[in-house]
Structures are given as structure tokens and as C-alpha cells.
Chains A and B, each alone.
Chain A
Amino acid sequence: MLLNIKNLHVSIGGKEILKGLNLGVNEGEIHAIMGPNGTGKSTLAAAITGREGYEITEGEIWYKGKNIVGMSPDDRANEGIFLSFQYPVEIPGVSIQNFMRTAINAKREYNGQAPIPTVDFLKMMKEKQAMVEITEKLQNRFVNVGFSGGEKKKNEIFQMAMLEPSLAILDETDSGLDIDALRIVANGVNHLHRPDNAFVVITHYQRLLDYIVPDFVHVMYDGRIVKSGGKNLALELEEKGYEWIKESNL
């Protein structure tokens, strides 16, 4: 199993947010996680990526056969975990090109490889930008500075394509996107999807799942996964609303 989360409890500032969450993801699978606002979906993403301030009070996160609790965020990233941020961060003064090259070389160094040759890097930038339909001019702009909401999300998918993760978590990458952008993001994911990697797609709306077809759908509520099923669960959820989940969990 690529990712195996067992009985995960996470607190922020002493307040328990995740309350015993279990999740298993195999290579080649796409999992969707749905659930009302504030149930802890982003907290789960933060715990998997090792964000400071998210205290794991109980449980384990197994990834590629290692319990990664306690591993630094950059080591986790270099082990192949990628997060498409719900709110991508602006970094004035750091160009996308510089940022990506630094990230790619960090990963290569981690794997004992030499830095990427400039020609290869530039070629790769070009290819991946085309894939998410962003203009080449973007590379000299500062990371996310002055980007529209849609551009920020496309930029996340672009970075994902550059870094070729084994496990990609997309945290509401579809929120606020128009249909065009949604299609581009979904195409990106489908394009990158391979038998040896996996996606965890956190979303609020079933509409993304028209484009990215999940193998499993999980419903989160109050810090736990309360229901799991196939892709039809998303449709059922759409139909009955989250009230249905809340009621059945009272």
C-alpha cells in the first residue's frame, strides 16, 4: 500500500481536529474525499505533508513502507508527496523558474542525482506549461504574485507535473474554477495518472468527479471518515446533501 493512515488523531493548539482517521491508498488509485467545511480535510493534508503546528497525538502515517510521522516536510516532498494547496502562497521576488529548478534539484540531490541540465529543465518547463495551458511568460513571474484564482490553481498542477509525485493530494483545487479551468486541471491529473502513482482529491463538489473518475469516494465528517464507497457515493451525496451524513452520524 502506498499510503496507509491508521487511527490518526491530530490537534491544532490543543484542539482535536482529526479524531481517529483511517485511510488506505494503493498505487494507481484515485481517491476522492468529500465532506462539509471544517471537518478536517485540509488538516488531513497538512498532517500528511508534515506542516508545523499540526500535532499528531495518536496514530500512524505509513507511506512507501515507512512511518513518516516526524519526517520533515521537505523530506516527505522529496519522497514523492505533493500537495496542491487550497490557498497557494505568493512568494514575491522568487520566479517560478527559479522556484521549480530549486525544487527539482533538491529532489535530485535527495535521490543522489546531479542537478538537472539547463536545457532539459527548460524543455520540461515548456512541455508541462503547455499541458496546463499556461503561457511561457509565466516562468519569469514571481510565484503566484498577481495571479488570478484560476492561474494559481493551474500553477499548482503545473508544479505537480514538474515534480512527478508518487502521491498527490489536491486540496479543493477545483474551488472557484470556471469550467474551462476545471477541465484543464482535470486533464492534468488524468495525464499524470499512472499505475505507479496515486491521487487524493479533496473536493466539495461532485462536478470535478465528472472529469476525474475516482476509484473510491470517502466522506469525512467531524475528523473521521464516516462513509466510503465507489464513485456513485459522490452522486448520492450530491443528491441527498451533507445533512444525510450528519444525521446518520448523530
Chain B
Amino acid sequence: MKDNDNNSGIVQQQLLDFYKSNEAAICADDTPKVRVLRNNALQRFQDFGFPNAKMENWRNSKIINALHGNFRMPALDEKHSEAKPFSCELCDMDTEIIMLVNGVFSGETSLKKYDNGMVIGSTRTAMKARPDLFDRYFGTTMPAETNGFYDVNTALWHDGYFVYVPKNVAAERPVQVIKLIDNESNPFVQTRNLIILEDNASLQLIDCDDSFNQQSSLINAFTEIVIGDNASLDKYKLQNINDNTSLLNSNSIRQFGNSRFRSNTISFNGGMIRNNIHVALDAEGAEAQVYGLYLMDKHQHIDNYLKVNHKVPNCTSFEKFKGILDDEASAVFNGHVYVAPGAQKTNAQQNNSNIILTPKAKIDAKPFLEIYADDVKCAHGTSTGQLDQEAMFYMQQRGISKANARMLLMYAFAAEISNHIAIPAMQERIDDMIKRRLRGELSSCDNCVLRCSHPKEYHFEIDENKL
């Protein structure tokens, strides 16, 4: 523990030094508001540093161990080759693609505008090109409970992706973000993303995290999301990073009246992953559905932290995270639903369930309801168990091999989450990936996280009625 604290201190100093010597470049395009936010965050980061494992929300989280001190700060003007062989098998899904390499926008047009007013591209370019729009939303979702990772991101961010869907516009095609880590030298990447849906807007967004090779890296991404009145966002997060990459994926969502947020975080692979999802239900009628699935093995670690804040009456939140843990993998589920005084008629449901395949795999589930209103419907539950042996025998008695019976049970467990993917072509791919992952056939990809163009023959059937 001491060593880690010491190392996190070293990393803290390294980051502060980096800021000092690159301040001009980092802040070159800042609006006055962004500059103020940077300074405040920097001050906090200087004072408090990174969280440690003694803190409530970071207990048992191994992500802090990733702060080992040998990071390279990526040069801000680093150019990334489009020459790198890259193919994304999900691309034929007819999506708008945004590509980030080491957290920096990569491509020719750094800001793409559509006839309907929609804008996608680089966060930095958006800040430069549309300072008014940018300032109206940037920094407006930040959760009250901040920490060193959020602060250092706000202080040091350089780029990321930006998506703007104006009032009354329904995005025609899903936006797909592909993030590659070109990690020859162990970078510490600060990515800053901003997604804005104005009133009555709607968008489906696919956000993939993956890595080029087996080098290690630490990614600290922060995504701010504003969802206006009656607007609707479906956000799919796919994580298939290598075992040496550590990832902090933090999201802060602010929802207005009758808005809908549906999120599905599917973690296939990754050495250490921490997902933070803060949802603020700021106006009546808002609804958040937050789903997650994690399939971890070896020594992998995943940690999902969810905070849903019911600030006003008549909002709904539904959270369901499921995991399958093999070998010596470990997982933390930290779910916190807060119902403010007066937030009557709140409906909040939270559930975490896990299948543990070996005695050495570990789950630490901490669901937490904090309720200050009396006319609410709130529930939480967790369950952890092994594969059902009765069901195993029942299936074998019908002629199904042990291996396929296992697969069927695990897939059925996982499909309860992937069934919530509202893009059918994508759901099909994801289901295929889940099966391959469960069979140990899915590797973290060198070219693309979604190398799914070669479906194999499976020994069990897929429900046609589900496809």
C-alpha cells in the first residue's frame, strides 16, 4: 500500500511537471471558461493527488496499482499514421466513424458538419471552432464527488471526441468511435469527450476501446454527456483492451426532462478496467437504463462504479450489471443510488449478478441505496454463484455435451445484457463475440477490437426469434 501511495505521488509530480512545461501548448485553444476549469482542477490535483485504496469508492479497486510511475507523456503534436494497418469489422455496419489514436483525433477533417446541423469530430477543434456552443455545455456535468483522475483529466486534457446533435435532430446513422492506443512507450493518455444532445434530439453511439499491441498503457478518459428535454441517447461501450492496459472510463451524464439514456458497457478483455458512470437525473420524467456485462479471466480486474442521482420526483433508473469471472479474475461492483429529499415517485432498481467459475475468482459487490424520500420504489440485489449443476446435468441428459451445456448457460446469462442492444446488426456481432470470448477464442485484437467477419461454426443454436 505504501509503495503504491509513493508511486502515485511520483506520477502526480510527473503530471504536474508535464503541465508546467507544456502549459502553453495544452491551453493554446482554451476558452476563458475552459481555462478556469483547468486551473481549478489543477489546484485540486496538486492538493489531493490520486485517490488511494483506503477511500470508500476505491476500496478493492486495483486501478490505483496502475500508477506505477514509468509513464511517458505523449507529445502534444504527435502525428499518428493513418498508415497503420487498420480494419474495423464493425465498419460495414453503416456508421459515422470517429477515430482517436492515443486520445487524439486522427483523420483528415477534424470537425465534420452535417446538413441537419449535427457536428462530430475532435473536442479540441470543436472548442476552437464553436466556443459559444462548447462553453454552454463543457464542464456542466461534473459530479460533485470528484477525484484525482477526473481532476487531472480536466487539467491536462488535450483532445478527444465531440458529438453535437442539435434540437429536433435524430442522427441518421449511429456514430462509432474507435480508440486505438499506439503504445510503443507506455503512455498516460487523458482523453476528453463531450456529447451534446439538445432537446428532442436522438443518437446511437458506439464507443470502442482497444489497443494495438501488447504494450502497457494507462488511459484516463472522461466523457461528459448532456441529454436535453425529450432527447434520447443509446450509448454502447465495448472494451477489448490487452492485459497490460489499464483503463479508466469515466462518464458523467446530465439528463433533462423526459430524456432517456440507455447505456450498455460490455467488457470483453482488459488488464484493469474501472468504469465510472455518474448519472444526474435533473428534471422530471428522465429515465436511465444502465447495463453492463464483464467477462474476465486470468488476472484481469474490473471495477464498475455507478452513481445515480435522483434529484427530482418522477424519474426512473434501472441498473443491471452481470459478470462471469474465470481463473483468478476479480471484480468490484459499486452501485450507489441517491434519492434526494422530495424526489417522490422515484423508481430505482439496481442489480448485480455474477457467475464465478473457479474458487480463486473474486467479486466484491457493494450495492447501496441512499433514500431521503418516502414515496419511492427502490430495490437492489446481488447474487453470486457457480454454474447451476442441476441445469448442467439436465442438459447433458438431453444429449448436450458438458462443454456446450456450460456455454449455453453462460451465454444465456450474458445475453440478458446484450439483448438490450438496440442496433440489431451490432447485437448479432456482440453475441458472436460473447460466444467466442466464452470459448476463449476472442483475443484482444491487434488491428481491431471487432474482428468479427469470420464467424465460426457453433455447436449450439441461437434463438432465431431473438435475432
Contacts and interface: CB of A to CB of B under 8 A. Distances in A.
Interface string B395-409: 111111110110011
B393 interface: yes
Residue of B388, B391, B398, B404 with highest tally of chain A CB at under 10 A: B398
B462 A98 contact: yes
Interface stretch (B49-57, B358-366, B412-420): B412-420
Given A99-B398, A102-B460, A103-B399, A51 B393 contact: yes
Interface string A116-146: 0010000000000000000000001010000
Contact of B413 (A93, A99, A103): A93
A142 B394 CA distance: 14
A77 B398 contact: yes
Contact of B398 (A52, A93, A97, A103): A103
A106 B458 CA distance: 12
Contacts of A99: 395, 398, 408
Residue of B399, B409, B463 with highest tally of chain A CB at under 10 A: B399
Interface stretch (A17-25, A83-91, A178-186, A197-205): A83-91
Contacts of B416: 93
Nearest to B408: A94
B413 A74 contact: no
Contact of A77 (B388, B397, B413): B397
Given A93-B413, A94-B412, A49 B462 contact: no
B465 interface: yes
A163 B463 contact: no
B396 A74 contact: yes
B3 interface: no
Residue of A98, A107, A142, A163 with highest tally of chain B CB at under 10 A: A98
B390 interface: yes
A159 interface: yes
A110 interface: yes
A42 interface: no
B428 to A, nearest CB: 15
B214 to A, nearest CB: 34
A106 B399 contact: yes
B386 to A, nearest CB: 14
B381 to A, nearest CB: 15
B412 A73 contact: no
Nearest to B461: A101
Contacts of A166: none
B404 A102 contact: yes
A82 B397 CA distance: 7
Nearest to B466: A95
B396 A72 contact: yes
B95 to A, nearest CB: 29
Given A74-B401, A106-B404, A97 B394 contact: no
Contacts of A106: 398-401, 404, 459
B394 A85 contact: yes
Interface residues of B, number: 30
Contacts of B401: 72, 74, 106
A91 B393 contact: no
A97 B463 contact: yes
A165 B408 CA distance: 23
Nearest to A49: B397
B400 A98 contact: no
A89 B463 contact: no
Contacts of B399: 74, 77-78, 103, 106-107, 110, 163
Nearest to B414: A93
Interface in B419-467: 459-465
B303 to A, nearest CB: 25
A241 interface: no
A106 B390 CA distance: 19
Nearest to B398: A103
A105 interface: yes
Given A97-B463, A98-B462, A88 B396 contact: no
Given A91-B412, A93-B412, A97-B465, A73 B460 contact: no
A92 interface: yes
Contacts of B389: 52
Given A72-B396, A74-B402, A93-B413, A102 B408 contact: yes
B390 to A, nearest CB: 5
B409 A91 contact: yes
Contact of B396 (A77, A91, A101, A142): A77
A89 B465 contact: no
Contacts of B391: 89-91
A74 B400 contact: yes
B439 to A, nearest CB: 15
Contacts of B465: 95, 97, 140
A105 B413 CA distance: 22
B420 to A, nearest CB: 14
Interface string A138-165: 0010100000000000000001000100
Contacts of A51: 393
Task: State the 4 A-B residue pairs at the shortest beta-carbon distance, nearest first.
Answer: A93-B412, A77-B399, A103-B398, A89-B394
17 contacts: A52-B389, A72-B402, A78-B399, A83-B397, A85-B394, A93-B409, A94-B409, A95-B465, A97-B465, A98-B460, A98-B462, A98-B463, A106-B399, A107-B399, A118-B464, A142-B412, A163-B398
Interface of A: 49, 51-52, 72-74, 77-78, 82-83, 85, 88-95, 97-99, 101-103, 105-107, 109-110, 118, 140, 142, 159, 163
Given A90-B391, A107-B399, 18 more contacts: A73-B396, A74-B399, A74-B402, A77-B397, A85-B397, A88-B394, A89-B388, A93-B409, A93-B412, A97-B465, A98-B461, A98-B463, A102-B400, A102-B461, A106-B398, A109-B459, A163-B398, A163-B399
